[in-house]
């Protein structure tokens, strides 16, 4: 503080202005939480916390609202998207770092980053007009005929394949988050010191064994960070999912069924909620989502920071 007071006038003014600018980050975060809490207070007082989270009903007529269905959809789409995206992204990262000839590295790297730059509404539109019909006509019936009769797994593929369901939404989400995991993993893989890899080769390891036993364990903190970051992104994704999810508040075991996520519920119902408790419940959902994604992104950041420290040794 004393350091600042000794600065010449121009410096002091500039320092204060730029300090205030940097302070906006804190202001934004705190005011968001405050405003959201304020708006949800009606719903919080009526439904409480645990009750709201575990109630499946979302009934505007009877004015009973619960987050369970939206949370379920959010959870399933995110988990499913990750399970598809993680192996694919790591594969992409492995390809880019260890397999690809040098001249291909930049173009393919740029191509992957272009996937990240495409606005989510484009994904949504493409999903509705192109992917959903393909899913409904070919892929989902195929999945049903292969898995439909197996006792437990069959439940996952019950119902009429409409193409507008959890499965399609998860696939689109997985395409969207792949670039995040892929580029962070690629960057982490690249930070493995050559000398460690060379020692492994010298001991007779195959290329794959070097990747599996040296590179991946070395970079695992960075990769975790990338995965959790993608998780945080997937949680908050609205437009890509809104077109193809079917907007139905239910908890269903079948992936071929419509569902709802917090983001899609907000997008569909926010301008239409006609009672105060309805709107307040929507704000409550927004608050829960904000805190949830903030926490997860903080965990991601934690991993990434640890990875940085680890690499700088």
Site string for another protein, 142-181 (x = CB under 8 A): ------------------x-xxxx---------x--xx--
Beta bridge partners of 65: 58
H or E element: which one contains 59?
strand 58-59
Q: Is 298 in the site for another protein (CB under 8 A)?
A: yes
CB of 288 to another protein, least distance (A): 10
CB of 238 to another protein, least distance (A): 4
- Return the residue of 68, 154, 158, 290 that touches another protein, per CB under 8 A: 290
- Return the residue of 1, 2, 5, 25 that touches another protein, per CB under 8 A: 25
- Phi and psi (nearest 5°) for 193? -65, 135
Site string for another protein, 33-72 (x = CB under 8 A): --xx-xx-----------------xxxxx-----------
- For residue 95, with 0-12 CB atoms within 10 Å meaning exposed, 13-18 middle and 19 or more buried, which class applies? middle
Find the helix packing angle between 166-190 and 102-117, rounded to 10°.
140
Q: Which residues, 6+ apart, have CB-to-CB distance to 163 below 8 Å?
A: 131, 132, 133, 134, 135, 136, 137, 140, 244
CB of 110 to another protein, least distance (A): 6
Query: What angle is formed at CA 273 by the lines to CA 272 and CA 277, rounded to 5 degrees?
Result: 170
Q: Is 241 in the site for another protein (CB under 8 A)?
A: no
Query: What angle is formed at CA 222 by the lines to CA 218 and CA 224, rounded to 5 degrees?
Result: 105
Q: Judged by CB, which is closer to another protein: 97, or 218? A: 97
Q: Judged by CB, which is closer to another protein: 44, or 238? A: 238
- For residue 263, with 0-12 CB atoms within 10 Å meaning exposed, 13-18 middle and 19 or more buried, which class applies? buried
Q: Judged by CB, which is closer to another protein: 36, or 156? A: 36
- Return the residue of 194, 271, 312, 313 that touches another protein, per CB under 8 A: 271
Q: Is 202 in the site for another protein (CB under 8 A)?
A: no
- Return the residue of 48, 145, 190, 209 that touches another protein, per CB under 8 A: 209
CB of 137 to another protein, least distance (A): 9
Encode 93-142 in three state secondary structure.
Answer: HHHHHHHCCHHHHHHHHHHHHHHHHCCHHHHHHHHHHHHHHHHHHHHHHH
Distance of CA 216 to the CA centre of its chain: 22
Beta bridge partners of 59: 64
Q: Which residues, 6+ apart, have CB-to-CB distance to 20 below 8 Å?
A: none
Q: Is 212 in the site for another protein (CB under 8 A)?
A: yes
CB of 260 to another protein, least distance (A): 8
Q: Is 222 in the site for another protein (CB under 8 A)?
A: no
Rule CB under 8 A: which of 97-126 touch another protein? Answer: 98-100, 106, 108, 110-115, 117-126
Q: Judged by CB, which is closer to another protein: 35, or 75? A: 35
- Return the residue of 191, 297, 310, 311 that touches another protein, per CB under 8 A: 297
- Return the residue of 173, 192, 237, 255 that touches another protein, per CB under 8 A: 237
CB atoms within 10 A of CB 43: 23
């Amino acid at each position: 503080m004393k350091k600042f007071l000794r600065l010449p006038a121009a410096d002091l003014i500039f320092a204060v202005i730029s300090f205030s600018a940097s302070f906006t980050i804190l202001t934004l975060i705190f005011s968001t939480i405050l405003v959201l809490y304020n708006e949800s207070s009606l719903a919080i007082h009526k439904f409480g916390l645990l009750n709201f989270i575990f109630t499946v009903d979302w009934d505007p007529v009877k004015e009973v609202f619960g987050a369970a269905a939206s949370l379920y959809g959010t959870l399933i789409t995110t988990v499913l998207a990750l399970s598809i995206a993680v192996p694919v992204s790591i594969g992409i990262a492995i390809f880019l770092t260890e397999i690809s000839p040098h001249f291909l590295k930049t173009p393919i790297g740029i191509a992957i980053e272009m996937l990240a730059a495409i606005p989510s509404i484009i994904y949504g539109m493409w999903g509705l007009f192109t992917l959903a019909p393909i899913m409904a006509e070919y892929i989902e019936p195929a999945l049903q005929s292969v898995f439909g009769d197996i006792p437990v797994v069959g439940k996952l593929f019950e119902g009429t394949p409409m193409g507008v369901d959890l499965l399609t939404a998860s696939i689109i989400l997985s395409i969207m988050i792949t670039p995040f995991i892929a580029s962070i993993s690629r960057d982490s893989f690249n930070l493995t010191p050559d000398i460690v890899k060379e020692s492994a080769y010298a001991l007779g390891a195959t290329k794959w064994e070097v990747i599996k036993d040296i590179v991946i364990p070395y970079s695992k903190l960075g990769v975790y960070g990338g995965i959790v970051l993608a998780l945080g992104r997937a949680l908050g994704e609205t437009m890509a999912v809104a077109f193809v999810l079917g907007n139905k508040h239910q908890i269903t075991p079948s992936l071929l069924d419509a569902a709802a996520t917090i983001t899609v519920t907000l997008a569909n119902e926010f301008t239409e909620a006609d009672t105060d408790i309805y709107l307040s419940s929507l704000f409550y959902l927004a608050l829960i989502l904000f805190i949830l994604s903030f926490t997860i992104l903080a965990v991601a950041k934690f991993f990434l920071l640890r990875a940085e420290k680890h690499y700088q040794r």
